[in-house]
Amino acid sequence: MPDYDLLAKTIRSLTEGEEDTVALMATVTCEVHHADDRFDWTGFYRVTGPQMLKIGPYQGGHGCLQIPFARGVCGAAARTGQVQLVPDVEAFEGHIACASSTRSELVLPVFNAQDQVIAVFDIDSDQPDAFTQADADALEAILSDVFSRQTG
């Protein structure tokens, strides 16, 4: 498990004063992706229209270009505004297999200053049951710290 306190401090120092959402997403993605070997694919899907997510900054192989709110783990996180901790993607009804190597997934909704979902942060692992509630809690705090200042 990464040292989430150090990761949070690093991300805070790198993003302090930055207001561009895509620049923030790119920085968070890079830092989180390289923080742990369990993280096989790490990236954002941005809310770009009614009930639609489009791929944003990511690290790893190709991702799906767009995901409707009605489909998959990312869609569920965007639709419900709740963290999706999925130990076995094969058991998740409606899972979208963007990469055949994905075995487990953690998707966190990203909220702006108005408490609107502006994106989801998706982490895939090629290991089953790779993520814990501690991962979810720590990453949720990091995302809140970075994006709750965003007004758009």
Number of domains in the chain: 1
Rounded Cα distance between 121 and 54, Å, is: 12
H-state helical runs in 48-110: 72-80
Classify residue 152: in a domain, yes or no. no
Classify residue 100: in a domain, yes or no. yes
pLDDT of residue 99: 66
Count the Cβ atoms, other than its own, within 10 Å of residue 127: 14
Chain segment 103-144, per-residue pLDDT in tens: 899 999 999 999 999 999 999 999 999 999 999 999 999 999
Strand, coil or helix: what is 131?
Answer: coil
Say which CATH number the domain at 39 has: 3.30.450.40
Strand, coil or helix: what is 137?
Answer: helix
Mean pLDDT by 10 residues, the chain (152 residues): 94 95 97 95 96 96 92 95 91 71 92 95 94 97 92 66
Classify residue 14: in a domain, yes or no. yes
pLDDT of residue 103: 86
Classify residue 115: in a domain, yes or no. yes
Rounded Cα distance between 83 and 106, Å, is: 7
pTM greater than 0.85 (yes/no):
yes
Q: Encoding tokens for residue 52?
A: 């639609």
Classify residue 34: in a domain, yes or no. yes
